[in-house]
Structure 1
C-alpha cells in the first residue's frame, strides 16, 4: 500500500497552472494529499505573518492619523483585525494537514480568507486617495507593497491565496493611481504585480515537486524500517548460509536454536544431515527434503519452499528461501537464505481443513464433504454407466430427548448414533452428519433397488435399539428417505432434494420407515407449498371462522359448554380439513397468531351466552412456549368481558414432551387467573400419571376411539374408560366422552360414569348463530 501511495505522489514533467493553483486536478497524482502538503507549509508561518501584519498596521495607522480622521483610521484597523482573525482561524485548522488529505473546498475557503485580508489592506490607498494627499497615498501604497511582498513569500506554498492577495492589492493601487492621474506609479504597480506573480508561480512549483519527493522518500523509508523491524522482532525467522560442500557457516543464534544446537556445534555440519534426523542413516528422506537437495544441487533460487525436517526426533515444518552466492569473479561459493518454523501454522491449517470437512461432535464427514462425496459418486456412476444412491436419515423422538434431558445428553446420544452407523456400513457406503439429528449415507455403487432398501432397513434396525446415556435408557428410532442417481436426479442438489422429499414422506408414515423417492412427491410438496402460502394470508383475508359443538351434562343433557373448532374456507383451495392445515400451521408456527385469533373470537362469542355456559378452546404446544401466552389470554378476556371461570383451555399430552417446564408454568399462571384446563386425548399418546400430578386439570377428555371401542364391546376400551373415570373422580376432575353418535353410546357412557358427553348425537359443530338459537327459548339449555 505504501508503494502505491508513493507512486500517487509522483508528478508529471509539466504541471498546468490550474493544477498548481489547486483549481484543477490531474489524474496522474494524488492531488488531495499534495494540496495538504502545500497548506500545511502555509500554516507553519501563521505567527510570523500575524506579527508582520500588526507591525505594518501600526505604521500605517501612525501615517494615516496625520492625514485622515481618527474614526476612519479606527474603522479600518478594526476591519483589518477582523479579517486577520478569520484568516488566522483557517490557518489554525490546517496546522496538521500534512497527515491527511485536503479537499478543493477547504483550499477555496482558505483563499477566501486571504482575499478578505487583501481587501482590508487595499482599502488604505483608497482612503488616502479620497481623504488624504497624493504623498500620503504613495506612502500608504509603499506599506501595502511591503505587506504584499511578505505575504507572497509566506503564501507561495499555496499559490491560490497568494495570487488573490497580490492581484487584489496591486489592481487596487493601479486603479487608484490611474484615477489620481499618477501614471508612473500605476505602471510601477503593474510591473511589481507581474514580477511577484511570476516569482510565486516558480516558488510554488518548486515547493510542490520538493514536497512530493520528500513525502515519497519518507514513506519508502518508513516501509523499509517497518520491514526490517518486523523481521528483527519475528523470532520464527532466521538467516542460514552454507558453503559449496553444503555445510552450514556463520550460524546465527536463532538458526542454532531452531536446530536445537549451540552455534559452535552446528557450524561446519552438513545442512541436510542436521535437518534429516534418523532419515540420514536410513536414506528414507521425505519428498520435501529430496526437493530441497535437488534445488541445492542445481544451484537454483527458491522461495517459500515447505520442508519436513526432524529436530531432536520431533517432526517440524520449515519454510525456506535461498539464493546462490557468487564471488566477484562470478564463481559459486554457497547458498544464503532465510527460514522460518511454520509447524504451528501448518498444524492450524490442517486442523482448519479437518474442521471444514468433518463434524467435531460425531467425527463424521460434514455436509460439505458429503456433498463432495456424492458429487464424486455421481461422476463415477456417469462414467461407468452405473448407479449411486443418497440416503437421508432423521432420528425419531430425538427432540423429546433433547428437550427433557438437555443438549449434553442429546450430543452424547448423537455420538452413539454415529458409532452405530460407522459399524454397520461397508466400504461401498460413506456416512456423514448433515446437522442436528440428520445424517446421510452415500452409496457409491448400487447393484439393484433392493440393495438400498437393505441398507436402510439395517440402519433403522440398529438405530432403533435402546441407548444407555448418562444412566438413562433412551429409545429413538430413525426414518430414511432415499434417491437413486441418475434416475432420481442428475445433480447433487436435485438428488439431495428428492431424498429429502422421500424422508418427509417416511416421517408422515409415522417414523421408523424407509421411503424411496417417487415423482409424485414433487406434486405433494408443491401442494404443501401452495397451501402454506395461502395459510399465511388466511388471517388477513378473513378466511377463518369458528364452529361450536355443544358439550352436555351426561345426566340431564343440559348444555355445559361449547368447544370452539377452527374452520378454513380458502379462496384458492376451498374448504380445507383441520387435519390437513392444523399440522401445517404448527410446523410453520403460524398456529401462534391463528391461535390468538381463535382465543379472542371464542371469548367474544361466549360473552353473549348465558351464564354459566363455558367455551372450550384448543391450545397448541407452540402457543404455550410463547413468552406472551398468558398476556394473550388476559387480553382476550379483557377485550370480550368474559369471566375467567367460563374459559376452559384444552391441551394434549404432547405439551409435556415439547417443553414441560415452560408449558407447565404457563398453564399454572392461566389457572391462577381463574381459567380451567382440560387434558384432551388422554390415553392416545404419551400418557403418564405424572402429568396429572403436575397440574390440576379440571377435565379429562376420553378419546372417541375408546368410546367407539366400548360401544363395540371391546373389553380393553371399557376397562380404560372405567379406569379414567375412577382416577378423575379421585382427583376431583370431570370427564368428557368424545365422539358419542348414538343413543346407545350415550346410555353406555352414562353407565360408565362419565360426567359430560360430546358428539354428533347431541349436536354437530355449528356456526355461532345456530349456537345462539339454542338459548333463544327462555329456560332452554338442552341440546
Structure 2
C-alpha cells in the first residue's frame, strides 16, 4: 500500500489499478452495519429536536409527513448497511456502492426539507437552531461513519447548501458564510478521518490474514507431522490444547485444559517430588522464562516411561507482559531406544553381554590415566580358551556359542570393583585391572580365571572340558599406550599357548624379540618355495621280519638364506597358522611322487598331510594331479594323517580321505596313542597302517609295563582290523628285536636310516642291486 492513500480512492470515486480496491472497499464498508442502530437513533433524536424547534410554526401534517419520509429513507439506508455486513470477506461491487450513496442522498434530501422550506415559515433564529442540529449529525457522520466517507460528504454537501441558501434568502449572509466554511472543514475532516480509518482496517485485515495463515500452517503442521503444539499460561497450566497434544498425554482435551503441565507429564513422581533430572531442567527453564530447543525430557504417561523432545519460547505481548510459554514437542521414545540400543551394541558383545573390544580399550585407557595420576600400576590380561576349537568343530557352533556364554558368566563371577572383563572376539577375552599396585594381584586373578574356566561344563547332555591360557602386561611398565599394553599381553598369551596352555605368563621384553623373529620367519617362509629353499628328505621304513625297505616317508626340510636351517617343529606350525601349508603341501606331494618314480615299483612313498590341506575342496584334485603328472601308481602313495584332523571338520576330512582311498592310495594314522585315540576314527575310515608313536617304543625299551601293554593292544587291534602297524623311533638293534617280538609289521627309526636326501635314498637301491648281481 502507498504511504498516503489518494483522496478519490478513499472516497470510492476512483479505484487505482495497482491494488485490489474492491477488496479494500469491502473492508471499508463492512463496519457500517454495526453502527446502523446508533445512526438511526441519532437521526430520530435530531428529528424530535427539529419538530420541537418548528412546532407551532409549521403545520402538524407537514411535520408528520416529514417524519414519515425520514423513517422511510432511514429504513432503506439500514437495509443497505446490513447487506454489506460480510463485505470484509469478499469484494464490494459497484452496484452496492451506488445503492449506499443513493440511500445517504435520500436521507440528505429529506433533511433539506425542513432546512429549505420550514425556515421560511420561521425565524432566522429557528434556522440557526435547526442547522446546529444538522451540524451535529454532520460531525457525527464524519467521525463515527468514517467507513463511508462519500455518503457523509453527500449528506454534508446537500444539507449545507440548503442551509446556506436558506440563510442567504433570509438575509443572514454571515450565517450562510459560516455554513459554507463549516461544510468545507467537515468535508476535509471526513476525508482524513476516512483515510485513517481505512489504513487501520487494512492493517487489521493484514493481522487477521496473518493469523489465519499461521493457524492454517499450524493445523497443517499438526495434521501432517508427528509433532504437536503445547502452550501454558503464567501459572504453567496447559492452555489451547491441541488434539495431538492431548493424544500424546493419553487424555481428552477437556481433561488436559487448565491442568499443571508438569503434573501431567511427571506421573507418580508428582506426588513424591522425586522428579527425573530432565524434568527439573524443564521446570527451571520455565521458571526462568528461558527459551529452549530440542530438550529431551523423561515423562511418565499412563504409568509408562516415555521420552519427549520439547522446544519452547516465552509469550510476550506488545507491552512486554509475560503471558506464558508455547512450543512444539514430539515423542522420541523409539528413536532414543534405538539410539541406546545402537550405543549398547557398539560397546557390548551381543553373545555374552560382556563389554567388547571398544569398551575394554576405553577401560584400559582410563586405568592408565589413573595409574599415571596416582603413580600406580594397572594391568591387562588377555586370555584364550584351550581346546575350544575342538569343541566348536566337533559339536557345532551352537554348542560353541553356549560354551562362550557360560565362560562369560564365570568370568563375571570373578570380577569386582577393581576388575572388568570383556570379549575381544572369538574365544579371546580381556580383563582390565584398574589398580595392580598390590603385589601378586595379577597372578592371583590369572590363577582364579584358569582354575574356574577349567572346571567342566554341561551343555546339551555333553560334559565339556576346556581350559584357559593367560598372558598379562603391566602398565605403564610394559607399554605407554593401550595398543602397546594389549600387544604385549598378546605376546605373553602366545607364549602360554606354546607351552601347552593352562598357564599364565607375564610379558617379558624377550617376547617382543621372539615375535619379531616370528614375523621375519613368516616373511621368509612366504618366499621359500620361489627361492628354491625347500627340499625333501626320505626316511626308510623296513619290514620287521626281513628288514627290507618297503617305503620311505617324505620329510620336509627348509634351509633359509636369511635364517639358515630351520627345524620342521618351528616352521610347520607357522605354515599351518598362516595357511602357507596349502601351497607347501602341494609342492611336497608333487615332488614326493616324482621322486618315487625313481625307486623300484614295490616301494611306497608316505606323505604327511595337514588338517588345513584336507579341508581344502581341491585336495583330491591335488592328489590326482600329482599322480598324473609324475606317472606314479596310486597304490604306491600313502597319505599320513594324525587324529587331530578330525577335530577341525571331521566330515570334510573323512570325505577327502575317502576320495583318496577311492583313487587307490592308502592312508596311515600317525602318532596313534598320543592324541584322542578314539576307536571311532578307525571304525569310520579304512586305514591301511597304524603308526605307533616313538614315545611308546622308548617306554617299552625301558620295560614300561604301560607302553608294552599299549603296543600289544594296538598290534592286536590292527591285526583284527586287517591293518599293518609301524613302530617309530627305533634306534637300536635291541629295540628292533623287541618290536619284532611284539608283532609290529614295519619299523622306522635311526637304526635303519636317518632322513636322507633323494640321491642317498636312490643309492640304497643301487647298492642292493649290485649285491644281488
1:492 equivalent to 2:486? Answer: no
Query: Could you tell me which residue of structure 1 aligns to residue 567 of structure 2?
Result: 577
1:537 match: 527
Distance 1:704 1:361, change over 3 A: same
Provide the C-alpha distance between the structure 2 equivalents of 1:771 and 1:229, rounded to a whole number of angstroms: 98
Q: 3-state SS of the aligned residue for 1:622?
A: helix
CA shift in 2, pair 1:231/1:557, >3 Å:
farther
Q: Deviations over 1:235-289 (max 9, x none)?
A: 5310112222222222111011001111122122222221122222222222222
Query: Is 1:649–2:639 an aligned residue pair?
Result: yes
Contact 2:658 2:685 in 1 (8 A): yes
Q: Structure 1 pair 561/244, CA: closer, same or farther in 2 (3 Å)?
A: same
Give the secondary-structure state (helix, strand or coil) at the position aligned to 1:481: strand
Deviation at 1:330, TM superposition (A): 3.6
The answer as to 2:606 corresponding to 1:616 is yes
CA shift at 1:755, angstroms?
0.7
Deviations 1:46-100 (A, max 9, x none): xxxxxxxxxxxxxxxxxxxxxxxxxxxxxxxxxxxxxxxxxxxxxxxxxxxxxxx
Cα 1:242–1:426, aligned 2, differ >3 Å: closer, same or farther? closer
Could you say which residue in structure 1 is the equivalent of 2:726? 736
The answer to whether 1:518 aligns with 2:508 is yes
Structure-2 separation of matches of 1:743 and 1:234: 98
Equivalent residue number for residue 333 of structure 2: 343
Measured after TM superposition, the shift of residue 228 of structure 1 is 8.7
Give the match for residue 766 of structure 1: 756
SS at match of 1:291: helix
Q: Map of 1:120-519 to 2, 5 A cutoff?
A: 231-232=221-222, 235-519=225-509
Matched residue, 1:34: none
Instruction: For residue 378 of structure 1, give the secondary structure of its aligned residue in structure 2.
Output: helix
Post-superposition shift, 1:577? 0.7
TM-superposed deviation, 1:446: 1.7
Q: Which has the larger radius of gyration?
A: 2
Q: Determine whether 1:546 maps to 2:546.
A: no
Partner of 1:684: 674
Q: Deviations over 1:518-563 (max 9, x none)?
A: 1111111111111111000001101001111111111111111111
Aligned partners of 1:708, 1:780: CA distance in 2, in Å? Answer: 35
Question: What CA distance in whole angstroms lies between the structure 2 residues aligned with 1:335 and 1:712?
Answer: 98
Structure 1 residue 513, shift from structure 2 partner: 0.3
Find the aligned partners of 2:280 and 2:406 in 1 and give their Cα distance. Answer: 45
Distance 1:766 1:463, change over 3 A: same
The number of residue pairs the alignment matches comes to 557
Task: From the superposition, tell whether residues 234 and 705 of structure 1 become closer, same or farther in structure 2 (CA, over 3 Å).
Answer: farther
Per-residue deviation, 1:315: 1.4
Residue 627 of structure 2 corresponds to residue 637 of structure 1: yes
Q: Contact conserved, 1:390 with 1:443, CA < 8 A, in 2?
A: yes
Q: 1:651 to 1:780 in 2, by over 3 A?
A: farther
Q: Partner of 2:697: helix, strand, or coil?
A: helix
**Cα displacement (A) at 1:229:** 11
Deviation at 1:426, TM superposition (A): 2.4
Structure 1 runs of 4+ off > 3 angstroms? 227-235, 777-782
Does the CA-based 8 Å contact 2:222-2:229 persist in structure 1? no
Query: Are 2:222 and 2:244, in contact at CA under 8 Å, matched by a contact in 1?
Result: no
Query: Partner residue of 1:562?
Result: 552
How far is the alpha carbon of 1:591 from its aligned partner? 0.5
Distance between the aligned counterparts of 2:436 and 2:575, measured in 1? 39
Check the 8 A contact 1:774/1:781 in 2, yes or no.
Answer: no
Q: Distance in 2 between matches of 1:277 and 1:415?
A: 39
* Separation of aligned partners in 2, 1:295 and 1:354: 31
Distance 1:230 1:383 in 2: 59
CA contact (8 A) 1:559 1:781 kept: no
The alignment's TM-score, normalised by the length of structure 2, stands at 0.70
Q: Show the counterpart of 1:528.
A: 518
Measured against aligned partners, the alpha-carbon deviations of 1:572-631 in whole angstroms (never above 9, x if no partner) come to: 011111111111111111001000000000001111211111100000001000010000
Q: Structure 1 CA distance, aligned partners of 2:260 and 2:222?
A: 26
Please give the alpha-carbon distance, in whole angstroms, between the structure 1 residues aligned to 2:624 and 2:322. Answer: 93
What secondary structure is seen at the aligned counterpart in 1 of 2:765? coil
CA distance in 2, matches of 1:550, 1:276: 88
User: Does the 8 Å CA contact 2:469/2:503 hold for their aligned counterparts?
Assistant: yes
Counterpart in the other structure of 2:686: 696
Counterpart position of 1:706: 696
Query: SS in structure 2 opposite 1:760?
Result: coil
Task: Provide the C-alpha distance between the structure 2 equivalents of 1:399 and 1:256, rounded to a whole number of angstroms.
Answer: 59
The question of whether the paired residues in 2 share the 8 Å contact of 1:775 and 1:781 is answered with: no
Deviation at 1:428, TM superposition (A): 1.5
- Check 1:499–1:672 CA distance in 2 against 1; reply closer, same or farther (3 A cut): same
Distance in 2 separating the partners of 1:449 and 1:615: 58
The runs of 5 or more residues in structure 2 that have no matched partner are: 1-213
Over 3 Å counting, the alpha-carbon distance change for 1:668 and 1:709 in structure 2 is same
Rounded to whole Å, the distance in 1 between the matches of 2:771 and 2:442 is 62
Contact 2:222 2:228 in 1 (8 A): no
Question: Would the aligned equivalents of 2:377 and 2:476 in 1 still touch at CA under 8 Å?
Answer: yes
Structure 1 residue 780: deviation in Å?
Answer: 6.7
Q: What SS is found at the alignment partner of 1:774? A: helix
Distance across 2 between alignment mates of 1:781 and 1:308: 100
Q: Structure 1 length as normaliser, TM-score?
A: 0.69
> Secondary structure at the residue paired with 1:529?
helix
Q: Deviations over 1:686-714 (max 9, x none)?
A: 11111111111000011111111111211
- Unaligned segments of structure 1, at least 5 residues: 1-223
Distance in 2 of aligned mates of 1:403 and 1:600: 30
CA shift for structure 1 position 311: 1.2
User: SS where residue 766 of structure 2 aligns?
Assistant: coil
8 A contact 1:326–1:333 mirrored in 2: yes
